[in-house]
Structure 1
Amino acid sequence: MIDNKNYLIAIVLSFMVMITWHYTVNAPQMERQKQEQALLEEQQALEAAGQQDAASDGVGIPQPGGETGAPAVPQATPAAPANRETAVAATPRIPIETPEIEGSISLRGGRIDDVVLRQYRETVDPGSDQIVLLSPSGGPSPYYAEFGFVGASGQDVALPNADTIWELESGDRLTPSSPVVLRHEAGDLTFRRTISIDNQFMFTVADTVTNASGDAVSVFPYGLVSRHGLPDMANFYILHEGLIGVLGEDGLQEIDYDDLTDDGPQTFSTTGGWLGITDKYWATALVPEQDSKFKARFASGSVNAAGATTPTFQADFLRDAVNVPAQGEATITNRLFAGAKQVSIIDGYEEKFGIDRFELLIDWGWFYFITKPLFYGIDYFFHLTGNFGVAILLVTVILKLIFFPLASKSYKSMAGMKKVQPEMAKIRERHADDKMKQQQLLMELYKKEKINPLSGCLPILLQIPVFFALYKVLFVTIEMRHAPFFGWIRDLSAPDPTTIFNLFGLIPWDPPSFLMLGVWPLLMGITMFIQMRLNPPPPDPTQAMIFAWMPLIFMFMLASFPAGLVIYWTWNNFLSILQQYTIMKRQGVDVNIWENTRALFRRTKAEDAK
């Protein structure tokens, strides 16, 4: 039988290795990537202007049979790029006004390429810039959605393209109560595009094709989302940012930007589903009618301008041919989600439109079965209290109650272990040179006293998955973004901004990131220290050393984690202290925190002296 200490050491060391890796490897790497990204965006802004719209995605529109059209050669780039405002003003437009979105639709190509999220800003400062989601070609960082048609082979028909200037037939602005209708005539074909939007982030694009000729015409409807250049990303392993979709039997597809560039286009044939591009908090997703068959594709390309190359990324679909009979018409409906990934809105769209697993637009991760229910619990208490921090505290209490029987059994076993500590010490001293005999006698002692030495690991084992699930919730859900707690915590998804090394702001000095040790990380370390001192230090020197330094190490490690997570850990430690203290007293075990602390440091000094 393996001693309890080996299990405990393995668990603690594994957890510490993961956090150490984040703090010493991943966090510096993220900082370097942000700096590189800033330089890349500056370079891309100098490349983006003046590119020809039909070729600016660098990928081409999908073609029947799955091949891509050859990208056209971009026009010469002017010496200075246009800013976003100039690019928006360069084409005739229809304004968009909803409670959540402001922007415009370009009559050139009928593109949805100007979307600003009204309720979200870059920082917690209410005066900071609003979040810009979609931007037109000709400006910095183009990102847009387009719908259209591809003609069948052998048919000589004129179809609208990215350069087509649509006529506004009705409506002067797009609102939830007033759709707009665009019109384009091409020979015997008349195209009417009705664009509507709801109160949140879903556009509906209904294209009606009227055929005035004497022959039937076949057209292949397509939709695409195109992005130029790499966006500013979180670059963290627990979050996917890039191309995404749920495509029938192929299920969830998550493709990173660099993987798409390295591996080439990826294509799928499916009935129903969706695809698009996702950021941490925002996304654009194409949603064909869920009973339609289509080919889905993720592809990358590039555009050249001013002697430099900009990568481009595209998610697109090509639906099966639609037959427009002679002297008849056909209507094709598609949808576009362009907005914030709010859980209630995403789930609502999945239910309302029957969109296959649309909830996976939010990256709930491997712990989905814990993460999403945990979010629902926090969100429920948020609506009761109006504060996500308070909601986290209340959910922690609920979790404690759920696991109370297991935790109580664990703490009772730990109390029993403390009672037999003197006898265990005698066995180890008596058989110091015979580990097998020592282990045998210890097992007999455990059996006699009805103690399970492994039950002491339960509190840690139970806390770790909840810890990671809460980390995921804080990291990926937009509801937690810029959510305040009390006092100086203005964003639960960001680290505690205070630090003891400038006396919490009293000294006008900004310490380096590794010295950012705020109030909540300090409280977390203190509660962890007290919890560990409820028991005497373990007899094993290695174990004693780990327990002595663990609170200090965790304080620095978790200082860079979201404040909401540190608040949870601190509160959980406090509840655990109360629970363990009460159970130990009921078991007749003396609790002497001060003496246990002195014994720990006496042993540490003695080991150092050796």
Structure 2
Amino acid sequence: MQNNRNYFIAIALSVLIVLAWQFLYMNPRIEAQRKIDEARKAQQQTIEQVKTPAADGQAAQPGATAPSGQAAATETREQALAKTPRVIIDTPALSGSINLAGARLDDLRLKDYHETVDKSSPIITLFSPADTADGYFTELGYVGTDATGSVPGPSTLWTAPEGAKLTDKTPVTLTYTNEKGLTFTRTISVDDHFMFTVADRIENTGQAPVSLSSYGRVTRFNKPTTPSVYVLHEGFIGVIGEDGLIETKYSAAEKEAVTPPKATGGWLGITDKYWAATIIPPQQSAYEARFSHFTDGQPRYQADYKDDAFTLAPGQSVELKNLVFAGAKVVPVIDGYEASYNIPRFDRLIDWGWFYFITKPMFKLMDFFFHYFGNFGVAILCTTIVVKALFFPLASKQYASMANMKRMQPKMEELKAKFGDDRMGLQQATMQLYKEEKINPIAGCWPVLLQIPIFFSLYKVIYITIEMRHAPFFGWIRDLSAPDPTTIVNLFGLLPFTAPTFLHLGVWPIIMGFTMFLQMRMNPTPPDPTQAMIFNWMPLVFTFMLASFPAGLVIYWAWNNTLSVIQQAVIMKRHGVKVELFDNMKGLFRRKPAPSK
């Protein structure tokens, strides 16, 4: 029993992890996906029944607090795009258009990312107009007073030069002049990735001073179609001044708006698993931020800010600059923006989790191997080798402790025979034996406990980073972030039917289960029948439970088990302890003698 204590601790911890995953993530995800499919069919039927476009769905002019008010959305995306004048966006990474009504970014697609692993599938649509059911947009405007006159807001029609087109080489300049002599000149530029720069110049050509303040908002109507999970934050996010990182779930905002204290510096927006839209307001001005959910008209989620008011005297002008990130959360790109624009903690837009100090370096290591080998699956294998090498001294102590425990087994049996039912005497004698032989019975636990954060960090990297999305390995694994698509139930695709989800068992989970079986057979079967049953059935249980995990994580676990078997065999042999693997394997097929009569 002592020999297997460390292993059973590892099993218990692993079972806890897997059960939590199954009940907190997989079961809700399967059920939610069914509902999503049904909702999509119903929505499609509704769209087909729409015969005429709805009335103008633009939001009402924002008041003195923040933008609000949105009409119900019933139009198709094509109808909404054709309804207002637009400026085309065409860069190496983006396609879409700027809506001149409100100067909104409400039509944006990501050229390099497709909805499925099939390159012929549609590219990802990030932003859609407010008149559609999937409305999602970013808007920058101003809040004024009666003396200010009308200022740029949701319904303001900006003017663009004829034939204007926004590319990474050619910015676009929009203009608007109100009835009070205020002239707004907006220059929008974009780089070759996902960062827009919006520079406004406001000139007071009127006869009286005016007071106004700027605002910005990221607004979306729907939550992501895939259900949220505990290990990943999706929803509102921002770094607000001294308050630092703030993450607010959609469900929390539905109950009550989150309004951090007025701050200077930072950013705010909405994040999904792989995509995000954020606004980086002027970093020298104080502003009020808010994460909220509105139900007036079209229900919507909104991250917005409003600057303190400033005054423009006649003949005076002022310049303001906002940055808008809208695109894929590519790690080097996000890190580059943080450094080049001096955006505080912008790398936290990617949810690295509690073990940030482990997770991000692990990604960097995997990314290094990827750039060397060109395959993230190979990068996972190489990263596993590096992790095993780093933990080799601890693993050596663990297996040495196990070897010493095995060597002490005959003496332990003598003590059991000597003390019989005297548990206190047996415990004292056992501790004395450990002391004489210089054995620490819990030394083998520490490597297992220390590697749990490593496992979580690797899972986090595979699950959240867009670099893993649709990243192939070899053979049938075309997406390391998705489960193994094969299943033994239909003979790995030879039979023409799809296996039920709960019976889905791919090739790599089977390989992982076999390597786990070999690893457990490195130690003798426990004498206790209950422990022996757990010992025998655990690999099979894990095989089915991990079948729904990302293929990259299952490949890592299978490879890690294989390296552990080799490592344990080498260390035990060095300590003069017999490797039990082959004898234990033979014992499985050896017939037990019939009980004597």
**Do both share a fold (TM > 0.5)?**
yes
Letter in 1 for 2:422: D
* Per-residue deviation, 1:562: 0.6
The 2-side partners of 1:313 and 1:61 are apart by 16
CA contact 1:243–1:255 (8 Å) conserved in 2: yes
The count of aligned residue pairs is 589
C-alpha root-mean-square deviation of aligned residues, in Å?
2.5
Change (3 A) 1:430 1:542: farther
* Per-residue deviation, 1:462: 3.4
SS at match of 2:442: helix
CA contact 1:268–1:297 (8 Å) conserved in 2: no
**CA offsets 1:525-584 (integer angstroms, 9 cap, x no match):** 111111121221233444333222211111111111011111111111111111111111
1:88 is matched with which residue? 81
Once the two structures are superposed, the pairs formed by residues 285-434 of structure 1 within 5 Å of their partners are 285-304=278-297, 310-434=298-422
Change (3 A) 1:336 1:589: same
Are residue 534 (structure 1) and residue 522 (structure 2) matched? yes
Q: Which one of the candidate residues 167, 178, 185 is aligned to 2:170?
A: 178
Q: Which one of the candidate residues 249, 256, 264 is aligned to 1:263?
A: 256
**CA offsets 1:404-452 (integer angstroms, 9 cap, x no match):** 1111111111111111222223323433412222222222222222222
The 2-side partners of 1:494 and 1:197 are apart by 33
2:144 is matched with which residue? 151
CA contact 2:29–2:226 (8 Å) conserved in 1: no
Letter in 1 for 2:561: N
The 2-side partners of 1:603 and 1:237 are apart by 47
Q: Mind listing any 5+ residue stretches in structure 2 that lack a counterpart?
A: none
CA contact 1:527–1:574 (8 Å) conserved in 2: yes
**CA offsets 1:69-102 (integer angstroms, 9 cap, x no match):** 6637x38x7xxx4321221111111000111000
Change (3 A) 1:356 1:375: same
* Per-residue deviation, 1:603: 12
CA contact 2:217–2:279 (8 Å) conserved in 1: yes
**CA offsets 1:233-285 (integer angstroms, 9 cap, x no match):** 34211011111111012111111111111123534311010000111100000
Are residue 500 (structure 1) and residue 488 (structure 2) matched? yes
CA contact 2:257–2:290 (8 Å) conserved in 1: no
Are residue 50 (structure 1) and residue 38 (structure 2) matched? no
CA contact 1:226–1:315 (8 Å) conserved in 2: yes
CA contact 2:58–2:131 (8 Å) conserved in 1: no
Are residue 26 (structure 1) and residue 25 (structure 2) matched? yes
Q: Which one of the candidate residues 127, 130, 151 is aligned to 1:134?
A: 127
1:100 is matched with which residue? 93
Once the two structures are superposed, the pairs formed by residues 35-74 of structure 1 within 5 Å of their partners are 35-40=34-39, 50=54, 52-55=56-59, 61=62, 63=64, 67-68=65-66, 71=69, 74=71
SS at match of 1:316: strand
Q: What's the TM-score, normalizing by structure 2?
A: 0.93
Are residue 160 (structure 1) and residue 152 (structure 2) matched? yes
SS at match of 2:270: strand
Change (3 A) 1:232 1:277: same
The 1-side partners of 2:594 and 2:245 are apart by 57
The 2-side partners of 1:13 and 1:222 are apart by 52
CA contact 1:537–1:600 (8 Å) conserved in 2: no
1:226 is matched with which residue? 219
CA contact 1:225–1:315 (8 Å) conserved in 2: yes
The 2-side partners of 1:228 and 1:197 are apart by 25
CA contact 1:323–1:330 (8 Å) conserved in 2: no
SS at match of 1:35: helix
Letter in 1 for 2:175: R
The 2-side partners of 1:333 and 1:341 are apart by 23
Change (3 A) 1:24 1:238: closer
* Per-residue deviation, 1:147: 0.7
Question: Which shifted more, 134-143 or 124-133?
Answer: 134-143
Question: Which shifted more, 430-439 or 288-297?
Answer: 430-439
CA contact 1:171–1:181 (8 Å) conserved in 2: no
Letter in 2 for 1:216: P
Letter in 2 for 1:101: L
* Per-residue deviation, 1:4: 7.4
* Per-residue deviation, 1:459: 4.1
Q: Which one of the candidate residues 521, 525, 539 is aligned to 1:551?
A: 539
The 2-side partners of 1:52 and 1:17 are apart by 53
The 1-side partners of 2:510 and 2:417 are apart by 38
1:307 is matched with which residue? none
* Per-residue deviation, 1:205: 0.7
The 1-side partners of 2:459 and 2:479 are apart by 14
* Per-residue deviation, 1:596: 2.2
CA contact 2:177–2:183 (8 Å) conserved in 1: yes
**CA offsets 1:53-82 (integer angstroms, 9 cap, x no match):** 4437xxx8463xxx346637x38x7xxx43
1:510 is matched with which residue? 498
CA contact 1:410–1:455 (8 Å) conserved in 2: yes
The 2-side partners of 1:401 and 1:512 are apart by 40
Are residue 580 (structure 1) and residue 568 (structure 2) matched? yes
2:580 is matched with which residue? 592
CA contact 2:369–2:382 (8 Å) conserved in 1: yes
SS at match of 2:262: strand
The 2-side partners of 1:166 and 1:25 are apart by 48
The 2-side partners of 1:84 and 1:356 are apart by 35
Q: Which one of the candidate residues 437, 441, 445 is aligned to 1:457?
A: 445
SS at match of 2:287: strand
Q: What's the TM-score, normalizing by structure 1?
A: 0.91
The 1-side partners of 2:523 and 2:15 are apart by 21
The 1-side partners of 2:58 and 2:330 are apart by 33
Question: Which shifted more, 11-20 or 329-338?
Answer: 11-20
Change (3 A) 1:288 1:344: same
The 1-side partners of 2:62 and 2:231 are apart by 32
The 2-side partners of 1:350 and 1:559 are apart by 38
Letter in 2 for 1:410: Q
SS at match of 2:103: coil
SS at match of 2:119: coil
